[in-house]
Structure 1
Amino acid sequence: MTYSDATVWWIIAILGIGTFLIRFSFLGLIGSRPMPAWVLRHLRYTSVAILPGLVAPLVIFPAATGGSPDPARLAAAAVTIGIGYWTKGVVRAMVCGAVTLFAVQYLLG
């Protein structure tokens, strides 16, 4: 499909407005009011629920290797899961996983 430049810009504008309205509904409309305890309890698990969905395809089918898993990414994923489970810290787990990824890639050449 080929779209004209004007159509592409209209699509970008509409998607931008839609994204703004979704975010504004949380931040602008209810941002100044206290949230119920059950909402806060569920929001604690947002990063734990989203992060694996973003990272798993990059570990199992990495574009850098043509879609085949490699030892560096599998080792980094294992370290990230282990450190995350052990320390219960998302940032520490991601940093340790990144260090492992770069270290194994360096060692393997």
Structure 2
Amino acid sequence: MSNGISDLTVWLVILVLGIGTFLIRWSFLGALGSRDLPEWVLRMLRYTPVAVLPALVAPLVVWPAATGGQPDPARMAAAAVTVAVGLWTKNMILAIVAGAITLFGLLYML
């Protein structure tokens, strides 16, 4: 390898990461898969998508790669419309469609 890292080191890292990934998934599916989870755990798990989705979307809105990391009024407006329509209608699909229409419309106009 030209970067100074030996083949053995690369394969060792791949192996350790593979084992680690397997063990993380097994801990939920293998160890806990046949057991009933306590009610408080199930209640907390319902909030996982609500916490993960904004964490995935926020950097794309605030620091979009398409603009070199600069805030973009079209993306900010689309995010605001998406949140507003989602809160108003309680319909996720309608909120996403409204945000997409806003984004594409503003990108076309600007």
Give distance in 2, aligned partners of 1:6 and 1:36.
44
After superposition, give the CA deviation of every residue in 1:35-85 in whole Å (9 maximum; x if it has no partner): 111111000100111111121111111111011111221122112222332
Residues 56-75 of structure 1: pairs in structure 2 closer than 5 A:
56-75=58-77
> Aligned pair 1:84/2:90, yes or no?
no
Number of aligned residue pairs: 108
Alpha-carbon spacing, 1:106–1:39, altered in 2? closer, same or farther (3 Å): same
Residue 10 of structure 1 deviates from its aligned partner by 1.9
Structure 1 or 2, whichever has the larger Rg, is 2
| Structure 2 portions without partners, runs of 5+ | none
| Structure 1 portions without partners, runs of 5+ | none
1:51 maps to what in 2?
A: 53
Give distance in 2, aligned partners of 1:87 and 1:76.
16
1:12 maps to what in 2?
A: 14
Residue 96 of structure 1 deviates from its aligned partner by 4.0
Percentage of identical aligned residues: 66
Amino acid in the other structure paired with 1:74: M
In the superposition, the TM-score normalised over structure 2's length comes to: 0.78
1:37 maps to what in 2?
A: 39
Amino acid in the other structure paired with 2:35: R
Give the 3-state SS of the residue equivalent to 1:32 in structure 2.
coil
Alpha-carbon spacing, 1:15–1:99, altered in 2? closer, same or farther (3 Å): farther
Alpha-carbon spacing, 1:67–1:8, altered in 2? closer, same or farther (3 Å): same
Give the 3-state SS of the residue equivalent to 2:37 in structure 1.
coil
